[in-house]
Amino acid sequence: MIVKDNARLSVAVIGSGNIGTDLMIKLMRHGKNLRMGVMVGIDTASDGLARAAHLDVATTAGGIDGLVAMPEFKDVKIAFDATSAGAHRRHAEVLGKHGVTVIDLTPAAIGPFVVPVVNLEQHLHAPNINMVTCGGQATIPVVRAVSRVAPVHYGEIVASISSRSAGPGTRANIDEFTETTSRAIESVGGAAVGKAIIVLNPAEPPLMMRDTIYCLTDEHADRGDIEASVHAMVQDVAAYVPGYRLKQAIQFDRVAIPPQFAGRCPGEFGLKVSVFIEVEGAAHYLPSYAGNLDIMTSAAVRAAEQIAALRLAA
Chain Cα centroid distance, residue 59: 25
- Let me know if 134 is a catalytic residue: yes
In degrees to the nearest 10, what's the CA dihedral of 310, 296, 30, 205? Answer: -170
Catalytic pick from 27, 102, 134, 265? 134
DSSP line for 179-225: HHHHHHHHHTT--SSEEEEEEEE--SSPPPEEEEEEEEEETT--HHH
CA dist 118 and 122 (Å) reads: 9
CA dist 207 and 194 (Å) reads: 26
Smallest CA-to-CA distance from 28 within 285, 279, 240, 241 is with 285
Helix then strand then coil, in percent of the chain rounded to 5, is 45, 25, 30
How many contiguous H segments (helices) and E segments (strands) does the chain have?
10, 12
Adjacent-strand bridge partners of 154: 216
Residues taking part in catalysis: 134
